[in-house]
Amino acid sequence: MEKRRLGKSDLYVTELGLGCMTLGTDALAAERIINAALEEGVNYFDTTDLYDFGVNESIVGRALKPVREQIIMATKVGNRWNNKQDGWSWDPSKAYIKEAVKDSLTRLGTDYIDLYQLHGGTLDDPIDETIEAFEDLVSEGLIKYYGISSIRPNVIREYASKSNISSVMMQYSILDRRPEEEALHVLRENDISVVARGPVAKGLLSDAGVNKITEKGFMDYSEEELRSLVKQLKNHFGDRSLTEVSLRYVLHNPTVASVVAGASSVEQVKNNANAVRSQPLSVEEVAFIKDVSKANVYDQHR
DSSP 8-state assignment for residue 181: H
CA separation (Å) from 106 to 112, 192, 273, 278? Answer: 10, 29, 30, 38
Among residues 44, 51, 116, 146, the one annotated as catalytic is 51
Q: Is the distance from CB of 257 to CB of 8 less than 8 angstroms?
A: no
Cβ of 82: how many Cβ atoms within 10 Å?
Answer: 9
CA distance linking residue 295 with residue 178, whole number of Å: 7
Distance CA 251, CA 114 (A): 22
SS (H, E, C) 218-230: ECCECHHHHHHHH
**Could you confirm whether 51 is annotated as catalytic?**
yes
Distances (CA, A) of 220 to 83, 149, 175, 177: 37, 22, 9, 11
Helices (H), 238-282: 242-251, 266-276
Could you give the residue numbers annotated as active site? 51
